[in-house]
Structure 1
Amino acid sequence: MPTVLIASALLVVITVFLHYEVLRGLNSGLPRLRIPDRFKLLVVVIAAFCAHALEIFLYGLALYALITAFGAGSLAGAHGMLFTSSLYFSAETYTSLGFGDLTPVGPIRLLAGVEALNGLLLIGWSASFTYISMERFWSTPPEPQARPRE
């Protein structure tokens, strides 16, 4: 259990730092990009998606390591390759999707709970940043001016 607790704390720190750096980079780099403002929003969404994918991968890798190297539990319902099952379980946990076809058994249940809470916070952070970016870069075309009568 101490190993899972330490891994959970480290993952929270690493993923929050990673997310912060991606959003900070977007915040400072977007105004300098020489592309139309609306395309800057696509950059925001793609960068946020990539950050979330990397964070899911980190949790999946940690889950796999905790199961195989430390014997900290198992994934009930996992068939085939454990690494891909760990990634799949991580994705459904991080997003709070929770299909329920894979179930953590043993101390790794703590990691699953931490990942769900962390994912919820980071997804909310991305949504907030995307909204702020939309306010900043989503310009509406000016309304046509009425022509004065001659």
Structure 2
Amino acid sequence: MLVVLAASVVLVAVTILVLYETLRLTSEHLAELPVPPRWRIVAVVLAAFVGHTVAVWIYAAAYWLLVLRLGLGAFSGVPIESFEDCLFVSVVAYSSLGYGDHAPVGHARLLTGVEALNGLLLIGWSASFTYLAMERYWPMHGKARARRAGKAHRPADGEPGRERLFPPATGT
């Protein structure tokens, strides 16, 4: 139990660092990308997806080592016999999907529970990061269109692009 508990703490720390570095590098280099704002937002989503994929693979490696190789815990249901099976368990746990094909038994219950909580927090973190990127780059779509049309239009409230997202209310 102590081995799995220690592994859980290490896995949480490592996956937090992986996502932190992924988002930090994305943030540092996003403005330098020579692409329209739309593709910058796509780059943020793809970078977050890569960070989460790495985290899932890290947990899958832990399942492979702890459950398949060291025998610390097990899974009931469909047999887990390969790394690919461990990867499936990790995706299901990380995303809190919970298909039910594999039910953790013994010490594996702690590891899958920690992974689910960790995934929930990291997915929320990347969602807020994506929101901040969208908040920054979304209004630039309107600016680019206005420049192409040869007119710089700024609404009365001073927020470029706001009229597209929140059109003025019509009379009642």
**RMSD of equivalent CA atoms:** 1.5
User: Larger relative CO (CA 8 A, sep 6+): 1 or 2?
Assistant: 1
Structure-2-length-normalised TM-score = 0.80
Structure-1-length-normalised TM-score = 0.91
- Residues 52-83 of structure 1 show CA distances to partners (whole Å, capped at 9, x for unaligned) of 11100110110111012221111112336332
Paired position in structure 1 for 2:114? 114
Contact 1:76–1:105 (8 Å) recurs in 2: yes
User: Following the alignment from structure 2 to structure 1, what is the Cα–Cα distance between the partners of residues 54 and 126?
Assistant: 14
Identity %: 46
The runs of 5 or more residues in structure 1 that have no matched partner are 146-150
1:46 maps to a residue whose letter is L
1:32-71 aligned at under 5 Å gives the runs 32-71=32-71
1:70-149 aligned at under 5 Å gives the runs 70-79=70-79, 81-139=81-139, 140-141=141-142
Q: State the secondary structure of the residue aligned to 1:8.
A: helix
Give the total of aligned pairs.
145
User: Following the alignment from structure 2 to structure 1, what is the Cα–Cα distance between the partners of residues 46 and 21?
Assistant: 15
Contact 2:18–2:54 (8 Å) recurs in 1: no
Q: CA, structure 1 residues 79+108, in 2 after alignment: closer, same or farther (shift >3 Å)? A: closer
The runs of 5 or more residues in structure 2 that have no matched partner are 154-172
Q: Does 1:25 align with 2:25?
A: yes
- Give the structure with higher Rg (CA): 2
